[in-house]
Amino acid sequence: MDWCDRVLSVRALKLRTTPVPPEHCSALGLFVLESVSELDKGPAAFGLIQRASEQLNGVAESVLRGATVFLFGSCVASGSWDGVSDADFTVLEPSLVSRLEAGGWEHPDERRDILRIAAALRNSGFLRSELEVVIKTRVPVVKRARKVQAPLLLPDAQKGYKLDYVFLGPQDDRAYNNFVREAKRRNIQVEKTDTNKLTLHFHAAPQALRYYRTRVRGLENVVKAWNPDHQLPDIFALDFDISCRPLGVRNSWYMREYLSQHSVVRAGVAFLKRWSKQCGINNAQKGYLTSYAVMILWVYYLLQRGLVRHVDPACIPLVPSNAQLQVPYIPLLGDEGAGDGSIGSVSNSPAWAELQANLGACVAGSSPSIRSFRGTSAWSRYGCRTAM
């Protein structure tokens, strides 16, 4: 650490201005490719994010009439998902959208809405211990963060979803029979395992979630739980942050206009975000950079080099629209493909040679620009851990 600090303090200017030799650029390009090759789990995993957004929309609408849920953040900007990172959602009420269209940005009920959304999530089967409500902050959010993340398993739509009803006491026969009859009328399979338990088998996750959070009229002392031996709806397969502000949607779609231009842009920012987090530079809680700031610095460098075309910010409306509810998938590596790459495939295939060379040159070239950022002492403090 001390040696690195001395080198950076004495030779900082030289480190920022000395060009990287071509052979080192090639090695760096391969390192970048190998680092990001498995950060895209493909269109099937990205579809899980889309379905989770639709399911969350139903949960939010149960407490905020007419609300719309939008996905934003890196999933929108890059068009892919690594199967691990948090998903970012925002919930917008019609009244807020109307104020935005009229030029107003105030959201007087923001904290109340976050509390209502958290309650709706708990009523849908989320545990209190895995939901964190943060309202005494600049941007109120409800966070879902599991202490232990299970490996990503994509739900099989053919299997459906099962909800157990356990009756802790005698029930009114008429109410019980009406409940069973109504479920069957809606094409829900009803399995009676014993006298005190019913299992409903749903074909669609939104319907299962709606039944979970709906109180059954006339039935008392009923405990509902997702069947432990069956799959859960998509929304339970990921961690997420939910807020009630619109600008993240607009900013994400704006950055998508840049990242969708070439795989070098997407792979480069994926690498820089991972690198900056590992070396401590990407740490908003300590006042350093955010992932969004790293993305902007990367795009700015590419613009300065003429490697991406300029996008007029005015082309992205301030107010989110229904057209932004569906987010098309974009492979992280290559302009076509199914994602879900592997280190072996990018290391040994000549098909990636051009991308490797371009990535090495661009990431090496961006290093002086990014290192010159000195808003805090983070660069000198953590520079010894970097690979660039």
CATH of the domain at 169: 3.30.70
Using DSSP, state whether 126 is helix, strand or coil. Answer: coil
Q: Of 243, 277, 312, which marks where a domain is finished?
A: 243
Interatomic CA distance for residues 273 and 331, integer angstroms: 17
Interatomic CA distance for residues 388 and 377, integer angstroms: 18
CATH of the domain at 96: 3.30.460.10
Identify whether residues 225 and 304 lie together within a single domain. no
Identify whether residues 335 and 318 lie together within a single domain. yes
Interatomic CA distance for residues 369 and 362, integer angstroms: 11
Distance of CA 93 to the CA centre of its chain: 21
pLDDT tens per residue, the chain (388 residues)?
455 455 555 655 565 556 667 777 888 889 999 999 899 999 999 999 999 999 999 999 999 999 999 999 999 999 999 999 999 999 999 988 888 888 887 888 899 999 999 999 999 999 999 999 999 888 999 999 888 888 888 988 889 999 999 999 888 899 999 999 999 999 999 998 777 899 999 999 999 999 999 988 888 889 999 999 999 999 999 999 999 999 999 999 999 999 999 999 999 999 999 988 888 888 888 888 889 999 999 999 999 999 999 999 999 999 999 999 999 999 999 754 444 455 556 666 677 888 888 999 999 888 766 655 544 333 333 333 333 3
Identify whether residues 261 and 340 lie together within a single domain. yes
Identify whether residues 47 and 36 lie together within a single domain. no
Domains of the chain: total:
3
Q: Look at phi and psi of residue 201 and say left if phi exceeds 0, alpha if psi is from -120 to 50, else beta.
A: beta
Phi first, then psi: give them for residue 40, nearest 5 degrees.
Answer: -125, 110
Identify whether residues 28 and 77 lie together within a single domain. no
Identify whether residues 213 and 272 lie together within a single domain. no
Identify whether residues 250 and 360 lie together within a single domain. yes
On whether residue 89 sits in a domain, the answer given is yes
Return the pLDDT at 163: 96
Return the pLDDT at 274: 92
Q: What angle do CA 141, 143, 147 make, to 5 degrees?
A: 160
Please, are residues 119 and 63 in contact by the beta-carbon 8 Å criterion? yes
Return the pLDDT at 48: 97
Around Cβ 349, how many Cβ atoms within 10 Å? 11
- Which amino acid is present at 269? V
Phi first, then psi: give them for residue 135, nearest 5 degrees.
Answer: -115, -20
Identify whether residues 259 and 357 lie together within a single domain. yes
Paired tokens of 275: 């690198």
Return the pLDDT at 299: 96
Please, are residues 287 and 382 in contact by the beta-carbon 8 Å criterion? no
Identify whether residues 166 and 146 lie together within a single domain. no
- Which amino acid is present at 200? L
Return the pLDDT at 350: 72
Identify whether residues 348 and 282 lie together within a single domain. yes
Return the pLDDT at 381: 37
> What is the extent of the structural domain holding 337?
20-40+245-364
Identify whether residues 95 and 33 lie together within a single domain. no
Phi first, then psi: give them for residue 353, nearest 5 degrees.
Answer: -60, -45
On whether residue 13 sits in a domain, the answer given is no
Return the pLDDT at 292: 92
